[in-house]
Chain A
Amino acid sequence: MSDTIRLTLKIWRQHDPASPGALREYAVGPLSTEMSFLEMLDVLNEDLALKGEEPVVFDHDCREGICGMCGAVVNGRAHGPQPGTTLCQLHLRHFRDGDTVVIEPFRAGAFPLLRDLAVDRSAFDVVIAAGGYVSVNTGGAPEANTIPVPQAAAEKALDAAECIGCGACVAACPNAAAMLFVGAKVSHLALLPQGAPERDRRALDMVRRMDQLGFGNCSNERECEAACPKGVSIGNIARLNREFLRASLRSEEE
């Protein structure tokens, strides 16, 4: 029914942040090309456990490309070689028999490593807590259709809101910038009438927090857009810059 392949995996192994890490080599296969990349790691981990070795730690959950929990750098590319694809949606049919596949964690100063391929991306939550929302308490909402939103604006907002917070943009960026992530959230809310009252404060606060957390700045490499599994456009970074500039000029705050 399906073809099989054998691969040589070189996986980053590191027990904890304080211990040294290194790439270790594992031969796997034959594996069905229908298998997903993470299922390959499952198979490897079953094998390692039976051999008395420690399985490879990696984050994952929904395995359908929406929760944003998975992610690793595969052969130098965040989420691997397929465009618009999270690691969990990558299938082995995109590799060739005999390939060597290097698997490393998402690396960025703001994403400290936990173990093997798992990193701590909680800095993203901190950025959102700085303003990535509309301040409306439960119960205080007007009838939904009293807020008309032009279809094109809603679609554009959703394009930005599709961000799954996986961190691939940060891992792919030579500056480890979170501009695409922040730009996506700022754009989502700036494009909608609901986001208007806090528009200025949101842009200022989120950018300020992003800087404090050690994310870098944008130098137009466009690596983030190429790595984004949801195709979030760098147009959102341009909009973030405009929003930030606009807010800086208008804001009453110093």
Chain B
Amino acid sequence: MPLDAQIPSGPLAEKWDRHRFNLKLVNPANKRKYSVIVVGAGLAGASAAASLAELGYQVKVFCLQDSPRRGHSIAAQGGINAAKNYRNDGDSIFRLFYDTIKGGDFRAREANVYRLAQISNEIIDQCVAQGVPFAREYGGGLANRSFGGAQVSRTFYARGQTGQQLLLGAYGALMRQVGQGRVTMLSRREMLDLVVDEGRAQGIIVRNMINGELETHAAHAVVLATGGYGNAYFLSTNAMASNVTAAFRAYKRGAWFANPCFVQIHPTCIPVHGTYQSKLTLMSESLRNDGRVWVPRQAGDQRPPSRIPEAERDYFLENKYPSFGNLVPRDVASRNAKEQCDQGKGVGSTGLAVYLDFAEAIQREGQAAILKKYGNLFQMYEKITAVDPVKEPMMIYPAVHYTMGGLWVDYNLMSTVPGLFVLGEANFSDHGANRLGASALMQGLADGYFILPATIGGYLAQTPAQALNPDRPAFVEARQASENRLARLLAARGKRTIDDFHRELGLLLWDSCGMARNEAGLRRALARVPEIREEFWRNVLVPGTSAELNQSLERAGRVADFIEFAELMITDALARTESCGCHFREESQTSENEARRDDANFSHVTAWEYQTAAAPVEHREPLAFENVTPSQRSYK
């Protein structure tokens, strides 16, 4: 089957308009005859669910937290991009499009990214109307700040908690629909399988996490907004419950998985400090606006930072990339930090950290001004490390943060399973091989507020509005498969804990499929993962039963999927022998150790099709660049 992305014809700037005009509409009176399931209630899921309900569809929303206000979008700190050009600094929709597609190292679709830039402005309007308390200038207008990978100031923010404020806006919109009876909200439910019947996504199997009961839900379309898979690495900046299960189950039911090896490793996180560590904490990229990244010039220099004179410090990003300095994109900043540490210049007790220093900014602007911008981030840092960044530079190190890969979707955000739509981080669509800061919130909300509500109508208009029957064999089979799987997890009663397996998998991925990858390492990992999987199912220890609130069982199911999914990630990383964005293949670098893309052979999206008893089949969607010319990214 050739991959048809359904990209509309016509000039770039007119594609989305034309497409919306050409989409079939569902008559307002008929909308209530259609039901839609939305899985996940982060930015993408909540905004989609609220908007679909406003249109008149019957919506059921599922999330695994106790409330839809807790999706991990809430932890996004820095901001959200939009091409408003409020600063009059030369920004435009085309520039936001260009920065985003260049930032993604030319591995995203032009049409999608352009649409994203167009919609960015409507998102800000929408969120302001909802009462999101964005930062303001004295005159009452919206304030902006700069972010990595851009030379204009286009990021809208609410202190260091923009994600929280945007999510609470979407959550409010969602709860308004719940209050009006247009949305049924089912929290503490975990999706265990997708039901594909008559060739279309028609429902899901969920586990009620309070009493353990399996539930079957049917609908005319299923929307996954279930986030990314960064927790495959065990340690990441993701929330503890973030997982790949919903997306991976959909993959096993026929949705192809695109670019799974594209994993963003964020440069500014609090370094690892012990084996008991359960997660890594991000320090917003916005800190790089005022913080200067440095290491001692001399490898092995053990002096405290205050004792290292200016001349003996290497501000390596400023020196190497004079035009972007500390604001280079995330992949470049991360790789350079790793390079410094590999040369023995890392700081702190583990040597796996670099400094992020605010001394100069504090001297320039005063402590109060800096605290106003970053106070809550400084506080968060101090809580975790007991060090005050006003007095001593922060120590930071890269950590797994965001996954650009995800389920393959066409321009309508529909996967290869008809009726299955995928939004936000769970899809692969807009960030190519590297996501720029402040564009995840933009994409999640573009998908949820504006794109899906338009495109889902095009699908439903051609789908019969018949009553659905959850007793059909496809539902019964999916439910039985979920039940069997839970029983198998509980039956092993082995000797190793779930986290023990997860930690092993995470280390393997970090070492072989992390900031730098090479063929030998990937092959070793690919041989090792099936051994971990085999032992997991034989020797995992899952206490309790399935008919109760059982957090171990929840985790075990997620880790089982991460293990299987890891194979797919590694397979994808092996197949892509070029370097691009986050994906740095050591075999493919320039003489200056920058990533060397191979446009002749890899200007495509790789989408993997699941096979029951064989290796996944690789499909390619070629990427055509008609409006920008892919260039070697240079931030010097």
Binding site for B on A (CB under 8 A): 1-2, 15-16, 31-32, 34-36, 38-39, 42-43, 45-46, 48-50, 52-55, 57, 59-69, 82, 84-85, 89, 91, 93, 114-115, 118, 120-122, 124-125, 128-145, 147-151, 154-155, 157-158, 161-162, 164-165, 188-189, 192, 194-195
Q: Given A61-B241, A129-B175, A129-B178, check contact A134 B129 (CB 8 Å).
A: yes
Closest to B139 in A: A148
Q: Given A62-B74, A69-B70, A141-B125, check contact A55 B187 (CB 8 Å).
A: no
Say whether B552 contacts A133, CB under 8 Å: no
Say whether A91 contacts B384, CB under 8 Å: yes
Question: Is B625 interfacial (CB-CB < 8 Å)?
Answer: no
Residues from chain B with Cβ under 8 Å of A60 in the complex: 240
Besides A39-B277, A89-B383, A124-B67, 13 other A-B contacts (C-beta < 8 A): A1-B349, A15-B548, A32-B276, A42-B499, A49-B497, A55-B551, A91-B383, A115-B549, A125-B68, A129-B176, A151-B136, A155-B136, A158-B133
* Least CB distance, A143 to chain B, in whole angstroms: 6
Say whether A150 contacts B140, CB under 8 Å: yes
Interface size on B, residues (CB 8 A): 81
Q: How far is A151 from B69 in the complex, measured between Cα atoms in Å?
A: 26
Closest to A127 in B: B175
User: From residue 156 to 188 of chain B, which have CB atoms closer than 8 A to chain A?
Assistant: 158-159, 161, 164-165, 168, 171-173, 175-176, 178-179, 185, 187
User: From residue 498 to 548 of chain B, which have CB atoms closer than 8 A to chain A?
Assistant: 499-500, 541, 543-544, 548
Question: Is B239 interfacial (CB-CB < 8 Å)?
Answer: yes
Closest to B448 in A: A138
Say whether A154 contacts B72, CB under 8 Å: no
Closest to A164 in B: B164
Number of A-B contacts (CB under 8 A): 223
Say whether A61 contacts B140, CB under 8 Å: no
Residue of A46, A129, A150, A165 most packed against chain B (CB within 10 A) = A129
Question: Is B319 interfacial (CB-CB < 8 Å)?
Answer: no
Residues from chain A with Cβ under 8 Å of B68 in the complex: 125
| Residue in contact with B74 in the complex, picked from A34, A59, A67, A161, CB distance below 8 Å | A67
Residues from chain B with Cβ under 8 Å of A38 in the complex: 278
Say whether A142 contacts B125, CB under 8 Å: yes
Q: Given A147-B128, A150-B140, check contact A52 B543 (CB 8 Å).
A: yes
Say whether A128 contacts B75, CB under 8 Å: no
| Residue in contact with B133 in the complex, picked from A48, A66, A130, A157, CB distance below 8 Å | A157
Question: Is B467 interfacial (CB-CB < 8 Å)?
Answer: no
Q: How far is A141 from B169 in the complex, measured between Cα atoms in Å?
A: 13
Q: How far is A52 from B276 in the complex, measured between Cα atoms in Å?
A: 21
Say whether B131 contacts A194, CB under 8 Å: yes
Pairs across A and B, CB under 8 Å, 28 listed: A2-B273, A16-B548, A32-B274, A35-B276, A43-B276, A46-B499, A54-B543, A55-B543, A57-B551, A62-B239, A63-B240, A67-B239, A91-B383, A91-B384, A114-B210, A115-B548, A135-B176, A136-B126, A136-B130, A139-B122, A139-B449, A139-B450, A147-B129, A148-B140, A150-B136, A157-B131, A165-B69, A192-B133
Say whether A141 contacts B131, CB under 8 Å: no
| Residue in contact with B172 in the complex, picked from A49, A122, A132, A144, CB distance below 8 Å | A132
Closest to A158 in B: B133
Say whether B135 contacts A161, CB under 8 Å: no
Across chains A and B, which 8 residue pairs bring their CB atoms closest together, nearest first? A148-B140, A133-B172, A129-B179, A141-B129, A141-B125, A158-B133, A144-B128, A138-B51
Residues from chain B with Cβ under 8 Å of A114 in the complex: 210, 549
